[in-house]
Structure 1
Amino acid sequence: MKSGSTLFLKIAVILMGIPILALCIFLVPEIANFAAELYPDIAYLKYLVFIDLYAAAIPFYFALYQAFKLLSYIDKNKAFSELSVRALKNIKYCAIAISTIFAVGMPLFYLVAERDDAPGIILIGMVIIFASIVIAVFAAVLQRLLQEAINIKSENDLTV
């Protein structure tokens, strides 16, 4: 396969990472300061918000890296290999981790939404949780299909 055939998807993966990086640099400190202003008696709330949102960014970027590696495997005609299965498995685990981190952080979102009277904050958290679950299920299905295709391919190689 030509090495540039997945160039558009690689650019899309990079472009998906840039807004999240901007959010982590500029918006997360504002959200943490806002939460600290809403609850001045709970001083550590600011740091919990930092931990929750930055901890979710780590598996996100690892999943983007795995997607980039998967696209590189496709360029090198290694799409039907154990490396691709492993990349999909890592993407699945990252999506589960993001969903878990946000589910654990939902009480923080609830506290901020309760005091600020903004139920949309909880809705945003729920959308992120369910989107991550959908990505995890999709990656698991692709992983299983790819593993089955590899098994069929290896059986055909042995019979010929």
Structure 2
Amino acid sequence: MKRGTTLFLKIADMFIGIPVLALCIFLVPEIGNVAAKLLPGFAFIKYLVSIVFYASAIPFYFALYQAFKLLRYIDKNKAFSELSVNSLKKIKHCAITISTLHLIALPLFYLFAEKDDAPGVIFVGMVVPFASLVIAVFAAVLQKLLKEAIDIKSENDLTV
């Protein structure tokens, strides 16, 4: 694969992290304040919202780093190696973690929908867990295919 394509993907990988950082800095505190205003009976809600969003940012950035490492392996012609399989495995675990954290926060969306009388809010709350699960399944499929390709390659190397 040409270095230009992976360079583009590496740059895109870095730029994906910028909006999430901006959301963590500017939007998460506002969401916490709105949650505290909407549900004044739950004093801890502001902190719970912040914890869920900030805690899910950690595996997000770790997954971005693993994707960057995977692109480096492709550049070094080590795409069909155990290193790539391990990176995909870590990306899968990060996606599952993000999905789990946001599923834990899903009852908050129910409380918001109940308070604001807007049932569509629950569907908005399901976007991130669903997208994370899709990424986890995709990474698991790629991990399995890559593992099988490595096994086939090692069998072919032994028969020659």
TM-score between the two structures when normalised by the length of structure 1: 0.94
Aligned to 2:69: 69
1:11-160 to 2 correspondences below 5 Å: 11-160=11-160
Alpha-carbon offset, residue 117 of structure 1: 3.0
Whether the aligned pair in 2 keeps the contact of 1:52 and 1:101 (CA below 8 Å) is yes
Amino acid in the other structure paired with 1:15: F
Q: CA deviation at 1:120?
A: 3.6
Q: What's the offset of the Cα at 1:2? A: 5.0
Per the alignment, do residues 18 and 90 of structure 1 end up closer, same or farther by CA in structure 2, a change over 3 Å counting? same
Mapped to 1, the partners of 2:29 and 2:123 lie a distance apart of: 21
Deviation at residue 128 of structure 1 after TM alignment: 1.2
What is the CA–CA distance in structure 2 between the aligned matches of 1:11 and 1:120, rounded to whole Å? 35
Distance in structure 1 (CA, Å) of the matches to 2:122 and 2:89: 29
Give me the whole-angstrom Cα distance separating, in 1, the residues matched to 2:36 and 2:53. Answer: 15
Letter in 2 for 1:30: E
Among all aligned residue pairs of Structure 1 and Structure 2, give the percentage whose two residues are the same amino acid.
Answer: 74
- Flag the 1:118–1:11 CA change in 2: closer, same or farther, 3 A: farther
Alignment RMSD: 1.3
Aligned AA (2:80): F
Counterpart amino acid of residue 134 in structure 2? V
TM-score (norm 2): 0.94
- What whole-Å deviation, never above 9, does each CA across 1:42-98 have from its counterpart, x for those lacking one? 111111111111111111111111101000100111100000000000011111111
Q: Any unmatched runs of 5+ in structure 1?
A: none
Deviates more, 1:123-132 or 1:87-96: 123-132
CA distance in 2, matches of 1:113, 1:14: 35
What is the number of equivalent residue pairs in this alignment? Answer: 160
- TM superposition shift of 1:4: 4.1
Counterpart of 2:159, as a letter, is T
Q: Structure 1 residues 150-159 or 108-117, which shifts more?
A: 108-117
Gaps of 5+ in 2: none
Aligned AA for 2:110? Y
